Amino acid sequence: FMKKLIIANWKMHMSLDDAFEFCTKLTEQQYNNQLIIAPPIPYLAYLSDKFKSLEFCGQNVSQFAGQGSCTGEYSSLLLKLSKINYSIVGHSERRNLFQESSELIRQKAENCLKAQVTPIICIGEDLATRKNNNYKNFLLKQLEESLPEVGSLIVAYEPIWAIGTGIIPRKEELIEIFEVLNYYLKQSQVANNISLVYGGSVNLDNIEKILNLQNIDGVMVGKSSLDYQMLVQMLSYK
Ligand code: 13P
């Protein structure tokens, strides 16, 4: 039995008190899978200090490395100094709302690796691209442009049309895409230790089916991860 990765992306939700209570309950629970929580950024260092048995994650990092005069930003080094070992980079909400390019995301991912923070690099096509038969080439290009030269990392495939919509790709489509991504990553010299996860409308009805597919090491969950009972159930699936 392989532990699966469940990444809870809380985005810009919850109060600090709610997050604290949620994490307190989580520490009282036994579960099978590996949990990484990406809480709102202002709570990150506090939660990671209070809950040493839980693993936390940034939702973004600066493209600027190290420390310096850079008001409002936080680097991968500052995450590491707060004992945070992971960060999401290039979520589609960053790509779309903040016009982040794949080149910029690669820079961020490289900075993460330099600080020994594992980047969770997101890729995913929009609906118009999906309808075009070429979408697999689009994905591979996005992946190639976003990946750092070498390093251990996580790639999250999150089709934009599946985020927050309740719609997920069909099983055969997921199998095919993850095979393509896995093949690409295996034969490229880019990274050595890579996990592949799926994100977009993961819920209690579909998680088991997704986790059972080949080449999928876990899921990244938005809305359903805000519900304590649902998250705990997801953590117990085999
Ligand atoms: P939902 O699970 O709410 O569709 O969000 C997915 C996502 O963006 C995770 O990063």
Instruction: Please report the atom of ligand 1 found closest to the CA of residue 202.
Output: 2
Distance CA 108, CA 8 (A): 21
As a whole number of angstroms, the distance between CA 148 and CA 193 comes to: 12
Is 145 catalytic? The answer is no
Tens digit of pLDDT for each residue in 101-153? 999 999 999 999 999 999 999 999 999 999 987 899 999 999 999 999 888 99
Residue nearest to atom 1 of ligand 1 (CA): 222
The identity of residue 196, as a single letter, is L
Give 69-78 pLDDT, tens digit per residue: 999 999 999 9
Strand ranges (E), the chain:
5-9, 34-38, 55-58, 86-89, 118-123, 153-157, 194-199, 218-221
C-alpha to C-alpha distance for 120 and 162, rounded to whole angstroms: 18
Torsion angle of the four alpha carbons 21, 27, 31, 36, in this order, in degrees rounded to the nearest 10: 70
- Give the position, in ligand 1's atom list, of the atom nearest the Cα of 38: 10
Amino acid at 28: E
3-17, 123-137, 156-170: which range is least confident on average? 123-137
Let me know if 13 is a catalytic residue: no
* Token code pair at residue 191: 């990274």
Q: Indicate the pTM of the whole model.
A: 0.96
pLDDT for the residue 188: 80
Q: Is the CB of 159 under 6 A from ligand 1?
A: no
CA nearest to 120, candidates 99, 96, 141, 151: 151
Ligand 1: which of 88, 126, 202 to mutate, most ligand atoms within 8 Å of CB? 202
Choose the catalytic residue: 145, 158, 176, 208: 158
Mean residue pLDDT of the chain comes to 95
**pLDDT at position 29:** 86
Question: Any idea which of 37-46, 168-177, 181-190, 228-237 has the lowest mean pLDDT?
Answer: 181-190
Residue 40, judged by CB atoms within 10 A of its CB (0-12, 13-18, 19+), counts as middle
- Flag whether pLDDT at 170 surpasses 80: yes
